[in-house]
Structure 1
Amino acid sequence: MPTSSTKPDLLGIDSHTFKDLEILEADTGDASLFDFCNRTRSAGGAAALRRRMQNPWASAKRIDATQQAIRFITEQRALFKEMPSVYAIEGTQAYLHEILPSLDFRNQLEFALGALQVWINQDSHYFSIVRGAQSACRLIRGLRNFVVLPHLQKATGELGPLLRQLRVLLTRPNFRLVPDFDIGSQSTWRILRLDQDLRVKEKDTLNRLLTLVYELDALVSMADASAEHGFVTPEICTGPMQVKAEGLYHPYLTNPVANPVSLNQQHRILFLTGPNMAGKTTYLRAFATALYLAHLGMGVPAQSFRFVPVQWLFSSISLADDLRRGVSYFRAEALRVKTVAEAVAQGERVLALMDEPFKGTNVKDAFEASLAILERFSTRENCLFMFSSHQIELSDHLHRLHNQVDCRYFEAVESGERLHFDYQLRAGISDQRLGMRVLREEGIFDLLDREVNQIADSSQTEPLENS
């Protein structure tokens, strides 16, 4: 298990949870959460956003700084249309990484001879230099005009230091040589001199400028995605771990049914029951996705959302056996629980979601394992858990768990010929058993019985052979 102690500001989130929540990739080929949030204009901005989504915050201070930046961008969105063009950004990136001849001669005669050689013998390189230098100049001019906008002086959160770094970099002496007009009409000698100043002397500075621009692009994308999807800014709380939300829903759903969430030190465990297809797994994913977005500093899909930041977020929704490693399904489940237990044992603030654990063993083992885990989870301060299960028999024992378990359920509406689901969370434990009904509704028994009847009918009508 990776440890978060080496990076205390970052949320611990492992590859399995990334996969469960489809944060960076979606197995089905649909859009991932990254795709859902990506409104960046440049490839570098998209890479910066991906890095952020790989490393969400665990620190309330860092989350708040990102929230402030996103709020400012949303309120002053028109200002950020004044950022340099994508053409200038991408052109500068290509200019710095393209293999081109450099003229770094201090002797003017040698520089002039070198410039002449580039012009005569390497004209394609020369035109690449001109094009790249033009892009770099446009980037610098665009940033000059952008960072002095009056309202940007009041930028808050992450934006303040970011903009200050841009302003400092733009005061470099060599950047002062960049004219306020397009350099296309300049002489070959002057363009190559400018290329020397930019691509040789200030290459590191230009790369740093681009890095800051990409971070701006990523922040604007996060602000735009939050606004476009109507997300609400979470309230960051202090003290013992808690999460409370109203109107929570999964952002991928077209017509979602919203539900509440409440986990705290009086109810550390949400025990979730209900038949298949009623909404348990979607509810777990919706909650985990919202909590993850909150740790990024983004808005979340809810009417309201309050939380104390955690150090580790674990999900155990989609597990599989591993034939090559000789890991059975139940062993995979046990190893997943062990990963959570290791973080809990280290005293970390953990939030873990387990969707119908211990399916890979017999009913008695599953019951005993679930009860044993719930008993231990219920005593862990500053840890919160969601635990969905079909083991409704556990309800007879949950009252012993220090009153730490909040029981909720989803159910199917059985009126009419077909089952219907309202996806509303209810208090209590579901005792619905719908397996036989679902099999009947799908006509499985009719298919099997029809095959048997056809065989019986054919055997009765078959003529007897003469002896």
Structure 2
Amino acid sequence: MSFFADKQTLNDLNIPGRHKNNSISRLFDEVITAGGRKLMDEMFQYPLTDYDAINKRSSIFKYFTGNNIQFPFTQAEFGIMENYLASGSNSNRLAVGIGVISKKVMQIAAQDTAYQLLNDDVCQTIALLNRFSAFAATLPVEESQYKQQIENVKTIFNNKDLIWLKQETGIANLTLLKIVKYDHLLRTRLHEQMNQLLELLFQLDVYIAVANVASRMGFCYATALPKHSNTLSVSRLFHPTVRNAIGNSLSMDESRNVIFLTGANMAGKSTLMKAFGISLYLAHMGFPVAADEMTFSVKDGLFSSINVSDNLEMGYSHFYAEVMRVKTVAEQVAADKDLIVIFDELFKGTNVKDAYDATLSITEAFSNNRNCFFIISTHIVEVGEALRERCQNFRFTYLPTVMEGSVPRYTYRLTEGITADRHGMMIIENEGILEIIRGTTSETK
């Protein structure tokens, strides 16, 4: 079973879509091979819930991050080898020979290019295989999770049917007999071994791409713990696609499984919550996270309610869409799943009185599920004051606003407590909106 996040959550956190601006998938999209891109997509679609598997994968990424290793092929030259090896058949050597001879005859009789193209493909593949063999020999041999993959590569190249490979280094043209022999070996007799090499190369492509992003962006690798540990600790967490982002530290466990977040508009609440969700999703993939340090116990899934909108097709108002979203999460929590839940301003689609009552009752009810972690934000600070009197498992935090005259400045640094900051009207006044409506701006005078 893989770590679960539904479509709403993935879109809230802007995780899928390598072609989407600032998506998390796009951030890591530095792979070179088509097979590597497919493997990367699978990793994003199916995060892990086995802490040992997570740690094994992240240790491989860490190995490549620490050793500054570059992928040994360009996209164009790898594509030639990939296409050639992927077109293997079950033909015996005689059938291969007849096919090659036919191409040679057509070259002589009709200046057909098929024979020369086959020669070029075989020579290019030989050159790249030799390069990969030499590359594998240079990889640091140390106690790491990637050690077995290195051994697998060396085992394939030590196959007695590939002894000839190094003897053909730098060759540009082969005799007809050698083309028949090598083509049969590479695409038929050793077809399974070549597929194994391609898979190892796809993995290598992903490992190097992710490691390069981690190194360039200053990300760390999280340590996964068993589910029963029920803990989370992250230092200097920041949003991976926000320039010069401010880092914040968070911690949660069974005794403090709810973070209640307040703060004025533009103070950074939504960005912090998205950063939190993204870090948990990437951590369950074994990918690097935007933080200095992170330790977490594995969970079953992640749900968020950040950008819930009305649904005209279903006839849902904004408020009813919010209610249905909370119901969906409640059903998952009631199913005794260990979840991470992010609610950004619950019930903002209704009046303040209903929003207060609903936020208070729903938040308190959710918090009793100590196997789940919640981060909940609201502008209704009175809810926080009521919860502080009734619940002992909350951590109350806020993102402050510093007033410089009539201009608000935001520190984006998480602070303990509950804030009553409200500067909506001040921002409206600073923008001169009322003057525009009244027609009293300087431009109209």
Q: Secondary structure at the residue paired with 2:188?
A: helix
Residue 354 to residue 109, structure 1, CA distance change in 2 (3 Å):
closer
| 1:73 maps to amino acid | F
Residue 439 of structure 1: CA displacement? 1.6
What pairs with 1:313-332 in structure 2 (closer than 5 Å)? 313-332=302-321
| 1:187 maps to amino acid | T
Residue 291 of structure 1: CA displacement? 2.1
Residue 375 of structure 1: CA displacement? 1.7
CA contact (8 A) 2:345 2:379 kept: yes
- Partner Cα separation in structure 2 for residue 427 and residue 409 of structure 1: 6
| 1:198 aligns to 2:186 (yes or no) | yes
Q: Which shifted more, 409-418 or 108-117?
A: 108-117
- Partner Cα separation in structure 1 for residue 165 and residue 18 of structure 2: 45
What pairs with 1:64-83 in structure 2 (closer than 5 Å)? 64-77=55-68, 80-81=69-70, 83=72
Match of residue 214 from structure 1 = 202
- Partner Cα separation in structure 1 for residue 370 and residue 39 of structure 2: 36
Residue 369 of structure 1: CA displacement? 2.0
Match of residue 35 from structure 1 = 26
- Partner Cα separation in structure 2 for residue 109 and residue 222 of structure 1: 43
Q: Give deviations 1:200-259, integer Å, cap 9, x for gaps.
A: 343443233212101111011111111111122323344432212222221222222222
| 1:394 maps to amino acid | V
| 1:178 aligns to 2:161 (yes or no) | no
Match of residue 10 from structure 2 = 18
- Partner Cα separation in structure 1 for residue 154 and residue 274 of structure 2: 42
Q: Give deviations 1:169-191, integer Å, cap 9, x for gaps.
A: 43455434435324423112321
Match of residue 465 from structure 1 = none
Residue 179 to residue 314, structure 1, CA distance change in 2 (3 Å):
same
| 2:147 maps to amino acid | G
Larger radius of gyration: 1
CA contact (8 A) 1:19 1:26 kept: no
Match of residue 121 from structure 2 = 132
- Unpaired runs of 5+ residues, structure 1, are 1-6, 458-467
Q: Which shifted more, 346-355 or 129-138?
A: 129-138
Match of residue 222 from structure 2 = 234
Q: TM-score, normalising length from structure 1?
A: 0.85
Q: Give deviations 1:304-352, integer Å, cap 9, x for gaps.
A: 3221122212222112222123233223222322332232222221011
Residue 124 of structure 1: CA displacement? 2.4
CA contact (8 A) 1:69 1:155 kept: no
- Partner Cα separation in structure 2 for residue 286 and residue 87 of structure 1: 36
Q: Give deviations 1:339-367, integer Å, cap 9, x for gaps.
A: 32232222221011111121222223222
Match of residue 165 from structure 1 = 152
- Partner Cα separation in structure 2 for residue 427 and residue 279 of structure 1: 15
Residue 15 of structure 1: CA displacement? 2.0
| 1:334 aligns to 2:326 (yes or no) | no
Query: RMSD across aligned C-alpha pairs, in angstroms?
Result: 3.0
- Partner Cα separation in structure 2 for residue 218 and residue 206 of structure 1: 19
Tell me which of 337, 344, 354 is aligned to 1:355.
344
Residue 383 of structure 1: CA displacement? 0.5
Q: Which shifted more, 228-237 or 262-271?
A: 228-237
| 1:352 maps to amino acid | V
Q: Secondary structure at the residue paired with 2:396?
A: strand
Residue 108 of structure 1: CA displacement? 9.4
CA contact (8 A) 2:299 2:339 kept: yes
- Partner Cα separation in structure 2 for residue 93 and residue 429 of structure 1: 58
Residue 377 to residue 300, structure 1, CA distance change in 2 (3 Å):
same
Q: TM-score, normalising length from structure 2?
A: 0.89
Residue 101 of structure 1: CA displacement? 10
Residue 131 to residue 346, structure 1, CA distance change in 2 (3 Å):
farther
Residue 107 to residue 275, structure 1, CA distance change in 2 (3 Å):
closer
Match of residue 272 from structure 1 = 261
Tell me which of 34, 48, 54 is aligned to 1:57.
48
Residue 94 to residue 389, structure 1, CA distance change in 2 (3 Å):
same
Match of residue 381 from structure 1 = 370
Q: Which shifted more, 258-267 or 45-54?
A: 45-54
Q: Which shifted more, 248-257 or 143-152?
A: 143-152
- Partner Cα separation in structure 2 for residue 47 and residue 151 of structure 1: 27
- Partner Cα separation in structure 2 for residue 147 and residue 39 of structure 1: 21
Residue 390 of structure 1: CA displacement? 1.3
Q: Give deviations 1:411-457, integer Å, cap 9, x for gaps.
A: 322231322211222222121222222221111111222279x99x9
CA contact (8 A) 2:90 2:188 kept: yes
- Unpaired runs of 5+ residues, structure 2, are none
Residue 279 to residue 31, structure 1, CA distance change in 2 (3 Å):
closer
CA contact (8 A) 2:258 2:375 kept: yes
Residue 103 of structure 1: CA displacement? 6.9
How many residue pairs end up in the alignment? 441
| 1:156 aligns to 2:156 (yes or no) | no
Q: Secondary structure at the residue paired with 2:259?
A: strand
- Partner Cα separation in structure 2 for residue 423 and residue 264 of structure 1: 24
Q: Give deviations 1:20-55, integer Å, cap 9, x for gaps.
A: 22222389x523222222332333323322322222
Q: Give deviations 1:98-121, integer Å, cap 9, x for gaps.
A: 6x9997452798567535445345
| 1:450 aligns to 2:442 (yes or no) | no
Residue 396 to residue 336, structure 1, CA distance change in 2 (3 Å):
same
| 1:398 aligns to 2:387 (yes or no) | yes
Q: Work out the percentage of aligned pairs sharing the same amino acid.
A: 27
